[in-house]
Amino acid sequence: MGRRRPGTPTLEEVAAHAGVGRGTVSRVVNNAAGVKESTRRAVQRAIEELGYVPNLAARSLAGRRADAVALVMTEPDWRLFAEPFFSEIVRSLGDALADTGLQLLLTLVRSDAERRRFLEYARGGRVDGVLLMSVHGGDPLPDMLAEARLPTVLLGRRSGDEYVSYVDADNVGGARDAVAHLLARGRRAIATITGPLDMYVAQCRLRGYREALAGVEGERLRVAEGDFTAESGRRAMTELLARHPEIDGVLAASDTTAAGALEALRAAGRRVPEDVAVIGFDDFPLAQRTEPPLTTVRQPLEEIGRAMVRLLLEEIREPAVAWRHVILRTELVVRESA
């Protein structure tokens, strides 16, 4: 927290470059009357030379609020939009925005052309801020929004060095607690089915699994990559059983993946939890409907939605020279599967 955003010239820097006052720059940016044409040209030249992009928060002070927030989903795999995580987060954010007077606009951005198109749309003052979710490592959109000085909050983060404001769950700690629970119940051949490993959330859950097993004598890692879907859970569980028939415990990176793993175990004649204990991650309503009901790591989705909206509103009200990072605790919910 508290570091200045890189590469973002300020209104004051534009004013100094043009040799005018801050208020004059603000009037030019907002196309207000009362500015000499020569002064206007000087300010516009300074804006172009410095690469300054007018800030939506500053525009709101001039009474030009859009009264809308964009929720941008950057997931290129259409299948994942059917997963419960997306609908639960949309509901959580909608509830958090209900009393703010702001409209929530849902936007899909999956290609470079769509990134550029959305950036121009947002810079045109059509939204007051941006909420980003399902961002994969290396996605440039958060950087593009930061450089344009658009208030932005991520759900999760691209890496441990993320500088855009974000809200995340303690994925490492949640996975570590889940594996510790399996160890405490005598499981010793514990596997994990990850999420897509180009996403930091999946890397963190894998790290928690590894950390929990690091001090266990004779324990070895049993890992198969999934993509948060039920189909990947079925496929990965089948693969793990073929490679490691001794498995007696599994941590899946999502409840949906765990549901697929349960199907594969049933097809292989393995009883849950007698033969293999299974833990998921998220605590969606799905976790209570599986057979048997799923032990899982609960993410505080309502709290995540409220925190994302709170951070975004703070950035809209006060032009952000710093960004904020919030990591929320998870909770292990024990049911019959483990």
- Pairing mode, if any, of strands 223-225 and 152-155? unpaired
Is 59 part of a structural domain of the chain? no
Is 33 part of a structural domain of the chain? yes
Spans of the chain, pLDDT less than 70 = 1-8, 30-34, 53-64, 77-83, 319-322
What pLDDT does 64 receive? 59
Whether 206 contacts 197, CB under 8 Å: yes
| Other CB atoms within 10 Å distance of the CB of residue 313 | 19
DSSP state for residue 266 in the 8-state scheme = H
- Same domain? 129 vs 245: no
* Number of helices (H), then strands (E), in the chain: 12, 12
**CATH code where residue 28 lies:** 1.10.260.40
- Same domain? 176 vs 199: yes
- Same domain? 177 vs 164: no
Whether 91 contacts 309, CB under 8 Å: no
Count of domains observed in the chain: 3
Q: How far is CA 18 from CA 32, 52, 110, 221, in A?
A: 17, 12, 39, 61
- Same domain? 288 vs 260: yes
Which amino acid, residue 251?
A: L
Q: How far is CA 236 from CA 65, 181, 210, 233, 320, in A?
A: 48, 22, 18, 5, 43
- Same domain? 86 vs 146: yes
Structural domain harbouring 122: 68-169+302-330
Q: Which of 167, 201, 200 is nearest to 309 (CA)?
A: 167
**CATH code where residue 199 lies:** 3.40.50.2300
Residue 142 half-sphere exposure toward CB, CA atoms < 13 A? 28
- Same domain? 204 vs 149: no
- Same domain? 254 vs 105: no
- Same domain? 149 vs 264: no
- Same domain? 176 vs 283: yes
Is 335 part of a structural domain of the chain? no
Is 57 part of a structural domain of the chain? no
Runs of H (alpha helix) within the chain: 11-18, 22-29, 37-50, 56-61, 84-97, 112-121, 141-147, 171-184, 200-214, 230-243, 255-267, 301-317
Is 4 part of a structural domain of the chain? no
- Same domain? 219 vs 254: yes
What pLDDT does 282 receive? 94
Q: How far apart are CA 133 and CA 293, in angstroms?
A: 28
- Pairing mode, if any, of strands 295-298 and 331-333? antiparallel
Is 114 part of a structural domain of the chain? yes
What pLDDT does 62 receive? 47
What pLDDT does 56 receive? 46
- Same domain? 175 vs 165: no
What pLDDT does 291 receive? 95
What pLDDT does 215 receive? 79
Q: In sequence order, which residues have a C-beta less than 8 Å from that of residue 18 and are 6 or more positions away?
A: 24, 25, 39, 42, 43, 45, 46
- Same domain? 307 vs 271: no
Is 283 part of a structural domain of the chain? yes
Burial of residue 135, with CB atoms counted within 10 A of its CB: 0-12 exposed, 13-18 middle, 19 or more buried: buried
Is 115 part of a structural domain of the chain? yes
